[in-house]
Amino acid sequence: MNKYELIVILRPTDKLDVLKEKVRDILKKNQVLIESDEPWGVRALAYAIDRANDGYYEYFIVQIEPSQVSAIIAEFRLQPDILRYLFVRLPNLSKTA
């Protein structure tokens, strides 16, 4: 398993808790181990995305098999309230002295 940073930008609606739970369900369904979950809150977007000027940011550190990343992206694309997402693979740090 590789370690990734994942940032998800959600449409800030009145059903935001349902959207956050939907993201977690997608991750759990794809055997993702969530190491940390940090809500960054609602922030202004640099440019409008699908007529939204603000977005709710959620930051995760996760462990995923590389083959599962494309399956998660495919499911994120089907959700209209997920505005953007970004997976960044973290380097494996060896502890040699």
Q: Is residue 96 part of a domain?
A: no
Burial class of 9 by CB neighbour count within 10 A (0 to 12, 13 to 18, 19+): buried
Q: What pLDDT sits at residue 8?
A: 96
What's the pLDDT score for residue 97?
A: 52
Residue 38 belongs to domain with CATH number:
3.30.70.60
Give the least confident one: 7-11, 35-39, 93-97.
Answer: 93-97
What does the DSSP assignment read for 12-81?
--TTHHHHHHHHHHHHHHTT-EEEEEEEEEEEEEEEEETTEEEEEEEEEEEEE-HHHHHHHHHHHHT-TT
Residue 61 lies in a domain: yes
Q: Is residue 14 part of a domain?
A: yes
Domain assignment present for residue 35? The answer is yes
pLDDT tier for residue 86 given thresholds of 50, 70 and 90: very high
Query: Which residues fall within 8 angstroms of residue 57, CB to CB, at 6 or more apart?
Result: 7, 8, 9, 39, 40, 41, 42, 43
Residue 28 counted as domain residue: yes
pLDDT digits (tens, 9 = 90+) for 26-59: 999 999 999 999 999 999 999 999 999 999 999 9
Residue in this structure with the two tokens 């398993």, named with its chain if needed: 1
Owning domain of residue 79? 2-89
Residue 67 lies in a domain: yes
Split into its structural domains, the chain has a count of 1
